[in-house]
Amino acid sequence: MNKYMCKYFIIFVLPTLTAFLLSFLIPFILGVLLSFTEFTSIIDAKWVGINNYVEAFSNREFVNALKFTVKIAIVTVITVNFFALVLALLLTRQLKGRNIFRAIFFMPNLIGGIVLGYVWQLIINGVLYKFGVTLSYKPEYGFWGLVLLMNWQMIGYMMVIYIAAIQNIPNTLIEAAEIDGANWFQILTNIKLPTITPSITICLFLTMSNAFKNFDSNLALTAGAPSRKTAMLALDIYNTFYNTLNGEGVGQAKAVVFFIIVSAIAFLQLKLTRRKEVDSL
């Protein structure tokens, strides 16, 4: 880099880069290193090799959180995308008030996880009250509560993406099929679904990654009750760090495992959608 460019590098890139180093890159590298140590603050770390990882995987709460998160992710990926696709197909027909319907279904997505959690706590506990129990009575209640909440939160979002994709299908394709005498089901399975496959892939991964990373609504809705059985991965890592004595090392190791899982999902998506933007520079 010559002197001229160097000067402008300082003005254009350095502010962003400084913030990026301080709040992301240095913490990230430190985090990886600290996961192999025992520590209570950054400076008193003692090297312990892979002990933290061994401890993390022999920790029943972590294994349980892992299973619980995978189960939630599978169920929400299927339900959210099914309902979102059905709504998108209905709301791309010529229909009175379809813009208002779209707006209503999308709205919950803007509300933060903490608020969503307490809204659904009221509704679910209100229903369960008739049976004399609450959300924290059985882990299954928390599981289906979270599934319901995440459906409510994400269906509208995915619907909007599907609508955009369906509207991009050239009209001539569908008209030609209609002239050839195709019924709506044939148009759906032979034209609409195949043309929007890229969007379906994006939405499946987006839902999965959102489900894996969920923290706020998990904390507000169940906070892990009963006895941390409904804690998802992010909440379990938080609990290990801040609500466990000397939990920092193990917490950091769990966080690295969490990071590996989430990035594996992201790389798989990259492979499948082959996004050109990322590879172009």
The footprint of another protein on residues 161-190 (CB under 8 A) is 161, 164
CB of 198 to another protein, least distance (A): 9
**Coil, strand or helix: which one is 37?**
strand
CA–CA separation, 21 vs 27, rounded Å? 8
Contacts of 240 (CB under 8 A, 6+ apart): 59, 61, 62, 247, 250, 251, 254
- Is 224 in a helix, a strand, or coil? coil
Give yes or no for residue 30 binding another protein (CB under 8 A). Answer: yes
Site residues for another protein, 62-101, by CB under 8 A, read 90-91, 93-97, 100-101
Site for another protein in 123-142 (CB under 8 A): 123, 125-126, 129
Closest to another protein by CB, 49 vs 278, is: 278
Closest approach, Cβ 16 to another protein, in A, equals 4
Question: Both tokens of residue 255?
Answer: 């966080």
Q: Number of residues interacting with another protein: please give it, by CB under 8 A.
A: 89
Query: What CA–CA distance (Å, rounded) separates 104 from 202?
Result: 23
Return the range that interacts with another protein (CB under 8 A); candidates 6-14, 52-60, 72-80, 188-196: 6-14
Task: Please tell me the distance from the alpha carbon of residue 55 to that of residue 254, in angstroms, as a whole number.
Answer: 9
The answer to whether residue 157 forms part of the interface with another protein (CB under 8 A) is yes
CA distances from residue 36 to 24, 46, 241, 264 in whole angstroms, order as listed: 19, 8, 15, 21
CB of 189 to another protein, least distance (A): 19
Residue 82 CB, nearest distance to another protein (Å)? 14
The span from the first CA to the last CA of the chain, in angstroms, equals 18
Q: Residue 75, class by beta-carbon neighbours within 10 Å (0-12 exposed, 13-18 middle, 19+ buried)?
A: middle
What stretches of 168-247 show up as alpha helix (H) in DSSP? 171-179, 184-187, 193-195, 197-213, 216-221, 233-242
Name residues contacting another protein, limited to 106-125 (CB under 8 A): 106-115, 118-120, 122-123, 125
Task: Work out how close the CB of 113 gets to another protein at its nearest, in angstroms, rounded to a whole number.
Answer: 7
Measured from the CB of residue 161, what is the shortest distance to another protein in angstroms? 6
53 scored as a contact of another protein (CB under 8 A)? no
Q: Can you tell me which residue has the tokens 């990026």?
A: 20
Out of 104, 176, 268, 272, the only residue in the binding site for another protein (CB under 8 A) is: 104
C-beta of residue 217 within 8 angstroms of C-beta of residue 114: yes
User: Is 92 or 139 the residue whose CB approaches another protein more closely?
Assistant: 92
Residue number with CB closer to another protein (108 or 142): 108
Please report, as residue ranges, which positions from 182 to 241 form the binding site for another protein (by CB under 8 A): 199, 202-203, 206, 212-213, 215-216, 219-220, 233-234, 237-238, 241
Spell out where the chain has E strands: 37-38, 46-47
